A and B are shown apart, each in its own frame.
Chain A
Amino acid sequence: MNQIIALIKKDFLVDFRQKYIVASIALYVFATTYIAYLAFNNVITPATWNALFWLILLFSSVTGLGKSFSQESHRSHYYYYLSKPVHILIAKLIYYGFYEFFLVALLALIFNLFLGFPVENLSLFLVNLLVGASGFSICFTLIAVIAAKTNNGSHLMPILAFPVIIPVLLLAVTNSRNIVFGASLVDISGNLLVLICFNVIIIVMSFILFPYSWKN
């Protein structure tokens, strides 16, 4: 447990010392949203708003979480000897879970400012958003391990990540669109349950596969 906390603290310190990486992701989110705002020129229907929100979240998550393992690959040899793979994975999942939630909060804030926020049932929207976003962060963490092993990881990250995230994205976007159109918890509970099951599958697969993909 101490080791996990230490590893999370380490990840935080790495990001804190290299603030420009986090800042670049924040700027990425802002710039994409602003381009969308200019391109749509204030005529945006709730359905389009919803699709756009998830698309920008998808792209900024891939960009943001793609660095999770590649940024300290030269140091990873120490971790081979110092800690168990399971601890490293737990620490990364927790840290990048919060990282993803930070992205979501930032994106929601910027969207609210420029493109509006046509959601009435806010709590349900947030529940679905957080379940979907945690699916993103878990999946992209494992894909980032794989992509970090290649020479051109930043190019491979999207093409490896997009096909496997489609089930999560599909369910989350459908739910979210229904919520924007005024669905209640009963209407989306089936889809939400399947979404949670998907997250569980991804977590289980990550724990099984991470020890194989991590060491050189």
Chain B
Amino acid sequence: MKYLIKVYWWKPLTVILLIYTVIGGFLMSAPRLPILNETIRILHFHVPMWFGMIIMFTFSVFYSLKYLSTKNLVYDLYASQLVNIGIMFGVLGIISGMIWANFTWGEPWSNDPKQNASVVALLIYLALIILRGSLQDDHHKARIGAVYNIFAFAVLIPLLFVLPRMTDSLHPGNGGNPAFGQYDLDSDLRIVFYPAVLGWTLLGFWIATQQIRLASLQKHLDYE
């Protein structure tokens, strides 16, 4: 994070990757599949949101652990801002998923285990924000927030990655549905999808670094 704040080379890269994603995602050839048809193009916008959310939350937990071991408030700032961006990704992922599901599964919400797990993830992190808001002292807020963040993450990971695999799901790869690799393997989608994941994730980090710089400037001004 410190490195990302200091250097700039990855910002033009983000712009190029996202322009490529939008143009490539809408215009390049995509496989024709029954039911999915052209809606498969939303793959480049829906799935990277979840990658982005998990990456943001993972980094946030990493910085929470670092805060607990060093007591340096900078790490708490990183952790809290990354959580905000993760929630943003989560909301966008749910909305894009509901739009996609409306076309393919026939209804926006169908009690799918992954849909439920993602709502739980959002509930946990919104609760974290409220918990942080209800504490006054900076160090107190950082420590209690870090504890809840780590605890919630340890519960969330099995919920997201283990439980949906144990039950039937409409998502690919669960309960007899075609796995991700089957329509992705023809590599038409793959050459757009992987850059899209990287691009959206970097965009998340970009917003996070802006927020971190803004927050540290505001703190600096408050002290003067």
Which residues of A does B touch, CB under 8 Å?
142, 146, 149-152, 156, 159-160, 162-164, 166-167, 170-171, 190-191, 194, 197-198, 201-202, 205, 208-209, 212-213, 216
B159, CB-defined interface residue at 8 Å:
yes
> Does A170 contact B163, Cβ atoms closer than 8 Å?
yes
Residues of chain B within 8 A (CB-CB) of A198 are 155, 158
Question: Contact check: which of B120, B131, B166 meets A146 at CB < 8 Å?
Answer: B131
A/B interface sample: 25 pairs, CB < 8 A: A146-B148, A149-B135, A149-B140, A150-B134, A150-B144, A152-B134, A156-B131, A156-B134, A159-B127, A162-B123, A163-B123, A163-B127, A163-B152, A164-B124, A164-B151, A164-B152, A166-B120, A167-B158, A190-B166, A191-B166, A201-B155, A205-B154, A209-B151, A212-B68, A212-B143
Residues of chain A within 8 A (CB-CB) of B127 are 159-160, 163
A196-B48 Cα distance, complex, nearest whole Å? 33
> Does A146 contact B155, Cβ atoms closer than 8 Å?
no
A153-B154 Cα distance, complex, nearest whole Å? 23
A191-B212 Cα distance, complex, nearest whole Å? 42
On whether A213 and B120 interact (CB within 8 A), knowing A146-B131, A150-B134, A151-B134, the answer reads no
Q: Taking CB as reference atom, which chain B residue is nearest A164?
A: B155
The digit string for B140-167, where 1 denotes a CB below 8 A from any CB of A, is: 1001101110111011001100110010
Q: Taking CB as reference atom, which chain B residue is nearest A170?
A: B163
Size class of B's contact patch?
20 to 34
B7, CB-defined interface residue at 8 Å:
no
Residues of chain A within 8 A (CB-CB) of B131 are 146, 150, 156, 160
On whether A146 and B147 interact (CB within 8 A), knowing A156-B130, A164-B124, A167-B159, the answer reads yes
Residues of chain A within 8 A (CB-CB) of B140 are 149, 216
Residues of chain B within 8 A (CB-CB) of A201 are 154-155, 158
Residues of chain B within 8 A (CB-CB) of A142 are 151
Q: State how many angstroms separate the Cβ of B131 from the closest Cβ of chain A.
A: 6
On whether A213 and B147 interact (CB within 8 A), knowing A146-B131, A163-B127, the answer reads yes
Q: Taking CB as reference atom, which chain B residue is nearest A161?
A: B127
A130-B134 Cα distance, complex, nearest whole Å? 34
Q: From B134, B147, B162, name the one whose CB has the most chain A CB atoms within 10 angstroms.
A: B147
Residues of chain B within 8 A (CB-CB) of A160 are 127, 131, 148
A146-B148 Cα distance, complex, nearest whole Å? 7
> Does B144 contact A213, Cβ atoms closer than 8 Å?
yes
Residues of chain B within 8 A (CB-CB) of A163 are 120, 123-124, 127, 152
> Does B147 contact A209, Cβ atoms closer than 8 Å?
yes
The digit string for B52-80, where 1 denotes a CB below 8 A from any CB of A, is: 00000000000000001000000000000
A166-B122 Cα distance, complex, nearest whole Å? 13
Residues of chain B within 8 A (CB-CB) of A208 are 150
Residues of chain B within 8 A (CB-CB) of A151 are 134
A192-B159 Cα distance, complex, nearest whole Å? 15
* Extra A-B contacts (17), CB below 8 Å, given A164-B152, A164-B155, A166-B159: A146-B144, A151-B134, A156-B131, A159-B130, A160-B127, A163-B124, A163-B127, A163-B152, A170-B163, A194-B158, A194-B162, A194-B163, A194-B166, A201-B155, A202-B155, A209-B151, A212-B143
Q: State how many angstroms separate the Cβ of A130 from the closest Cβ of chain B.
A: 20
Q: Taking CB as reference atom, which chain B residue is nearest A190?
A: B166
